[in-house]
Amino acid sequence: MITIRIRSFFIRIIFSVSCLFAGSASAATLHAIIAADTSDYYIGSACLRDFVAINIHVHTIANVTGLDIEEHVFYGTDFKPFDIVDTLRDLECSDDDVIVFYFSGHGFNTEERPSIWPVLDFKFHGLAVDDVVDIINSKKARFSLIFNDCCNSIIPENYTPPYVGQVITKASPYRNYITLINNYRALFLETEGVIITSSSSPGERSRGYTNEGSWYTGSYLESFEEIVSSSETPTWEMVFEDSNAILQKKISSDNEISKDDYAQTPLFAIGLN
């Protein structure tokens, strides 16, 4: 596990004039926990693309909002559930901080479990999303986003592992930086509560291609970029409803997918104060 702490002086200078209109810079911290199963034989390449894309995403959030960023990344040989749980439990948050938890990898569910949220699969151990949510809620951060891109397939209970815890890209062509900053602030600085999302419903798999990454992560990032660049004040409902629309469009246009046996219906729960 690698921990990185960055203070975004350069971007603050770039946006200093705009921030006079958007409000004073926040001294709060964005705690980003990113886990991706990049070594998996089948989905490792897609997970690596997800890891890079989300890493850029969280740094962009920090740069635009003025949040400090403390990043904890788990990939390759560091993709270990106990380390992730320990990191979550050890987080020290103020009541104005933001937590973003992201997972890309395998997942599953069982008929016996009462939860719609999947169990994150670490091959020899499973980490229930519900337990991740409980730990993050205990930190009492102002806003938390818990994002899981994994299957939610039903498997027999006796086949499940034991549970744990019972790059640079081209700039987007934004023309109105004041609007952009205000939209980021609306989503991350002026929002309180918890959001949970997973890429599929119980009994469903999640789709991705080696050369594209996971489809739900890509749909979310595409939706987010569209929403924050719009002149309309954004909401998280808008982001995830648009993410689903983009995902369904991808699925319907893929000739390799049988509409009868390949449904992928993302879940999202928004509990904002």
Indicate the domain borders of the chain.
2-272
Which pLDDT score, from 0 to 100, does residue 68 have?
A: 97
| Per-residue pLDDT, 256 | 66
Q: Which ranges of 146-214 does DSSP label H, i.e. alpha helix?
A: 177-188
Pick from 173, 175, 177, 172: nearest CA to 17:
177
| Total-model pTM | 0.82
Question: What three-state secondary structure class fits 235?
Answer: coil
Residue pair 234/186 in contact by the 8 Å Cβ criterion: yes
Tokens 């990113």 correspond to 34
Give the architecture (CATH level 2) of 2-272. 3-Layer(aba) Sandwich (3.40)
> What pLDDT score was predicted for residue 174?
36
* Digitized pLDDT (tens) for each residue of the chain, 273 residues in all: 554 444 443 344 334 434 443 444 447 999 999 999 999 999 999 999 999 999 999 999 999 999 999 999 999 999 999 999 999 999 999 999 999 999 999 999 999 888 999 999 998 899 999 999 999 999 999 999 999 999 999 988 877 777 775 522 333 433 467 888 899 999 999 999 999 999 999 999 998 887 789 999 999 999 999 999 898 999 999 999 999 999 999 888 876 665 556 789 999 999 987
Closest CA to 240 of 219, 209, 271: 219
CB-based burial label for 169 (10 Å; 0-12, 13-18, 19+): exposed
